[in-house]
Amino acid sequence: MSDLHVYLIAPNGLKFKQPLGLFIDNEWRSSSRGMGIPTINPANEEEICTVHAADTKDVDMAVEAARRAFNGEWRTLDTSVRGELLYKLAGLIEQHADVLATIDAWDNGKTYHAARNEDVVGAISLLRYYAGWSDKIHGKVIDPNADKLAYVMREPIGVCGAIIPWNFPLVNMVTKVAPALAAGNTLIVKAAEQTPLSALYFANLVKEAGIPAGVVNVLNGTGREVGSAIAAHADIDMITFTGSTPTGKQIMKNAASTLKRVTLETGGKSPMLVFPDADLEQAVRWGHRGIMSNQGQVCSATSRIFVHADIYEDFVNQFKAEVERISKVGDPFHSDTFQGPQVTRDQFDRVLSYMETGKREGARLVCGGKAFKNVRGKGFYVAPTVFADVTDSMAIVQDEVFGPFVVIAPFHEESEAIKRANSTVFGLGASVFTKDISRALRVSKRIQSGTIWINSSNDDDVRVPFGGYKQSGFGREMGEEGIEAFTITKSVHINLNARL
Positions marked active-site:
265
DSSP state of 5: E
Q: Are 248 and 221 in contact (CB under 8 A)?
A: no
Stretch that binds ligand ADP, among 5-13, 123-131, 244-252, 405-413 (CB under 6 A): 244-252
- Considering the rule CB under 6 A, would residue 363 count as an interface residue with ligand ADP? no
CB of 165 to ligand ADP, least distance (A): 4
Number of residues that make up the chain = 500
- For the chain, report the end-to-end CA distance as a whole number of angstroms: 67
> Which CB atom, from 97 or from 343, has the smaller least distance to ligand ADP?
343
Give the closest residue to 263 by CA, choosing from 36, 25, 477: 477
CB of 223 to ligand ADP, least distance (A): 2
Output the CA angle 110-344-249, nearest 5 degrees.
Answer: 100
Among 41, 175, 250, 293, binds ligand ADP (CB under 6 A): 250
Query: What 3-state DSSP class applies to 150?
Result: strand
Rounded Cα distance between 236 and 297, Å, is 29
Among 19, 122, 165, 384, binds ligand ADP (CB under 6 A): 165
Output the CA angle 190-121-288, nearest 5 degrees.
Answer: 95
Amino acid code (one letter) for 112: Y
β-partners of residue 304 are 271, 407
DSSP state of 212: P
> Which CB atom, from 299 or from 363, has the smaller least distance to ligand ADP?
299
How deeply is 308 buried, as exposed, middle or buried, from its count of CB atoms within 10 A (0-12, 13-18, 19+)?
Answer: buried
Dihedral of CA atoms 332, 348, 457, 103 in degrees, nearest 10, equals: -40
Give the closest residue to 216 by CA, choosing from 231, 224, 229, 204: 204
Q: Are 66 and 156 in contact (CB under 8 A)?
A: no
- Considering the rule CB under 6 A, would residue 477 count as an interface residue with ligand ADP? no
Among 43, 54, 100, 164, binds ligand ADP (CB under 6 A): 164
CB of 500 to ligand ADP, least distance (A): 50
Among 108, 217, 228, 385, binds ligand ADP (CB under 6 A): 228
CB of 350 to ligand ADP, least distance (A): 9
Q: Taking the CB of residue 294, how many other CB atoms lie within 10 A of it? A: 24
> Which CB atom, from 86 or from 191, has the smaller least distance to ligand ADP?
191
> Which CB atom, from 85 or from 299, has the smaller least distance to ligand ADP?
299
CB of 195 to ligand ADP, least distance (A): 9
Stretch that binds ligand ADP, among 73-81, 105-113, 224-232, 300-308 (CB under 6 A): 224-232
Among 217, 247, 339, 457, binds ligand ADP (CB under 6 A): 247
Stretch that binds ligand ADP, among 54-62, 163-171, 278-286, 377-385 (CB under 6 A): 163-171
> Which CB atom, from 52 or from 190, has the smaller least distance to ligand ADP?
190
Among 89, 231, 352, 485, binds ligand ADP (CB under 6 A): 231
Rounded Cα distance between 14 and 458, Å, is 31
Among 100, 126, 251, 478, binds ligand ADP (CB under 6 A): 251
Rounded Cα distance between 286 and 355, Å, is 23
> Which CB atom, from 287 or from 467, has the smaller least distance to ligand ADP?
467
> Which CB atom, from 229 or from 366, has the smaller least distance to ligand ADP?
229
- Considering the rule CB under 6 A, would residue 189 count as an interface residue with ligand ADP? no
Contact residues: ligand ADP, CB under 6 A: 163-165, 190, 192-193, 222-224, 227-228, 231, 243-244, 247, 250-251
